[in-house]
């Protein structure tokens, strides 16, 4: 993934800080992030609007404000390869020990308390004991077999009821593409129709980073109501890959500028968008979407940019710490897409910046609980807030 969206609201107020902002700043320092200048967030410089529309990035960058004018959001594009390295660096600098190539297969339980995890590795199974465990598997793998209520409903056709899979095409002569399509405005619509009829998916977005000239990326979404079932995942995986190669072959064959292109990168794993979620100590349901007051344990604020007209009047949304705590279970926090929320809430608030904020809050709360020798439910909010602010979070 290369887009970190919705860092500020439609009025230009930044809400996502913390690790997410730190990552973007570090990547910017390595020439591996790009975003609109701060004085343009929430504003409608026509040049900038045109830049993102032309790049096929309208959904991530452009909204209409209360006056109906197009404005630019604070969204960052990043180089995913540099980001993989920078994230490792950040983890190592923090003093954490990384263990990759390891699948966590379940919790170690004592009654209703999680005491560690079981891992499967190439060298055989291992166990890790812990005072606090945080499930950041995206799919809530650790809660699968726990005695705690969960919800996995997705509305058919919604964003989260789809697998995603991204691939990148390099060595595209976009000047030639622009020249041909500007000379004949009917050409690209006609070619898109032809490619679709022949089994391809032609719509692409442009790489915006300086070193990604001539690079485009294609974001495929494939509907699925069963995003943790291996047979379904296998079908979606093979279908996505086949369509990707077919699409590139057709682009190369028909579209000016793609003659010498090649697929340079495809996502190493299918992207799950929906799936299992806890119904925790606080359940964020559809009715919370219009809430205007912070919670007494607010750990994050998310710009509310994706709900059409509702977003214009309701610019941001609050997240309580309790939404990370599974009901009836001790020693476990859930800090990923599987946080306590219904399908409507997920539809808008389970993206990368959101999950990074949840992760930062869970890490801070876990550290406090261990340091203070207290239960996760009793971590003093004032301490948690102080710790999050120290880490750059933006809280009310
Ligand atoms: C195709 C696609 C495009 C998207 N584009 C964007 C985008 O541009 N911007 C955006 O903000 N969001 C995007 N999203 C959504 C976003 O990527 C996810 O919602 C977000 O990454 C979820 O974060 P997470 O921490 O919950 O899970 P993940 O980011 O999925 O992280 C889970 C991690 O845990 C590991 N893991 C999983 N299970 C286990 C296990 N049992 N043991 C050990 N490790 C495990 C996984 O390998 C993974 O590294 C996209 C999603 C898809 C599918």
Per-residue confidence in pLDDT tens, the chain, 396 aa: 899 999 999 999 999 999 999 999 999 999 999 999 999 999 999 999 999 999 999 999 999 999 999 999 999 999 999 999 999 999 999 999 999 999 999 999 999 999 999 999 999 999 999 999 999 999 999 999 899 999 999 999 999 999 999 999 999 999 999 999 999 999 999 999 999 999 999 999 999 999 999 999 999 889 989 898 999 999 999 999 999 999 999 999 999 999 999 999 999 888 888 889 999 999 999 989 999 999 999 999 999 999 999 999 999 999 999 999 999 999 999 999 999 999 999 999 999 999 999 999 999 999 999 999 999 999 999 999 999 999 999 999
What six digits make up the tokens of 167?
A: 């691939």
pTM of this prediction?
Answer: 0.96
Residues 6+ apart with CB under 8 A from 152: 274, 275, 276, 277
H helices of 151-200, in order, are 174-183, 187-197
* Cross-strand partners of 107: 117
C-beta separation of 107 from 117 below 8 A = yes
Q: Is the CB of 220 within 6 Å of ligand 1?
A: no
Q: Is residue 266 helix, strand or coil?
A: strand
Q: How many residues make up the chain in this entry? A: 396
**Angle at alpha carbon of residue 303, lines to 347 and 211, rounded to 5°:** 90
Residues 6+ apart with CB under 8 A from 126: 102, 118, 119
C-beta separation of 123 from 108 below 8 A = no
Which of 282, 375, 364, 358 lies closest to 323 in space, CA to CA? 282
Q: Is the CB of 240 within 6 Å of ligand 1?
A: no
Mutate to test the pocket of ligand 1, among 100, 116, 137 (most ligand atoms within 8 A of CB): 137
What residues does each domain of the chain span? 3-81, 99-152+275-390, 162-266
In whole angstroms, what separates CA 110 from the centre of its chain?
33
Q: Is the CB of 136 within 6 Å of ligand 1?
A: yes
The phi, psi pair for 265, rounded to 5°, reads -160, 140
Mutate to test the pocket of ligand 1, among 19, 121, 352, 357 (most ligand atoms within 8 A of CB): 352
Long-range (24+ apart) CB contacts under 8 A made by 18-22 are 18/356, 18/357, 18/360, 18/388, 18/391, 18/392, 18/393, 18/394, 19/90, 19/356, 19/359, 19/360, 19/391, 19/392, 20/352, 20/353, 20/356, 20/357, 20/360, 21/392, 22/90, 22/392
C-beta separation of 339 from 324 below 8 A = yes
Which of 259, 283, 265 lies closest to 344 in space, CA to CA? 283
Biggest distance spanned by C-alpha atoms of the chain: 70
Q: Is the CB of 225 within 6 Å of ligand 1?
A: no
294 Cα to the center of ligand 1, angstroms: 27
Q: Is the CB of 357 within 6 Å of ligand 1?
A: no
Q: Is the CB of 165 within 6 Å of ligand 1?
A: yes
């Amino acid at each position: 993934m290369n887009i970190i969206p919705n860092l500020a609201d439609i009025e230009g107020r930044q809400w996502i800080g913390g690790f997410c902002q730190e990552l973007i700043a570090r990547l910017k320092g390595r020439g591996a992030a790009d975003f609109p200048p701060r004085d343009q967030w929430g504003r409608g410089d026509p040049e900038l609007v045109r830049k993102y529309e032309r790049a096929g990035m309208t959904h991530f960058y452009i909204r209409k404000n209360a006056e109906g004018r197009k404005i630019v959001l604070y969204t960052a594009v990043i180089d995913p390869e540099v980001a993989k390295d920078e994230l490792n660096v950040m983890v190592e600098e923090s003093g954490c020990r990384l263990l990759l190539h390891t699948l966590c297969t379940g919790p170690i339980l004592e009654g209703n308390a999680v005491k560690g995890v079981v891992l499967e590795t190439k060298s055989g199974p291992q166990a890790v004991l812990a005072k606090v465990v945080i499930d950041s598997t995206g799919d809530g793998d650790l809660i699968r077999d726990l005695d705690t209520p969960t919800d996995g409903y997705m509305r058919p056709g919604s964003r989260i009821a789809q697998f995603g899979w991204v691939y990148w095409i390099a060595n595209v002569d976009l000047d030639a593409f622009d020249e041909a399509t500007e000379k004949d405005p009917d050409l690209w619509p006609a070619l898109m129709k032809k490619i679709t009829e022949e089994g391809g998916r032609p719509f692409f977005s442009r790489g915006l980073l300086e070193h990604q000239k001539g690079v485009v990326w294609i974001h495929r979404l494939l509907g699925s109501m069963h995003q943790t079932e291996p047979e379904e995942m296998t079908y979606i995986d093979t279908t996505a890959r086949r369509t990707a190669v077919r699409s590139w072959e057709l682009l190369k064959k028909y579209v000016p500028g793609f003659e010498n292109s090649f697929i340079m990168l495809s996502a190493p794993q299918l992207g799950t968008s929906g799936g299992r979620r806890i119904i925790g100590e606080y359940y964020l349901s559809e009715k919370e979407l219009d809430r205007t007051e912070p919670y007494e344990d607010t750990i994050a604020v998310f710009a509310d940019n994706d709900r059409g007209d509702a977003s214009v009047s309701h610019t941001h949304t609050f997240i309580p710490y309790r939404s990370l705590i599974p009901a009836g279970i001790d020693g476990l926090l859930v800090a990923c897409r599987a946080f306590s929320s219904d399908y409507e809430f997920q539809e808008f608030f389970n993206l990368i910046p959101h999950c990074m904020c949840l992760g930062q809050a869970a890490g801070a709360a876990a550290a406090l609980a261990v340091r203070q020798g207290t239960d996760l439910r009793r971590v003093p909010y004032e301490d948690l807030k102080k710790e999050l602010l120290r880490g750059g979070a933006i809280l009310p």
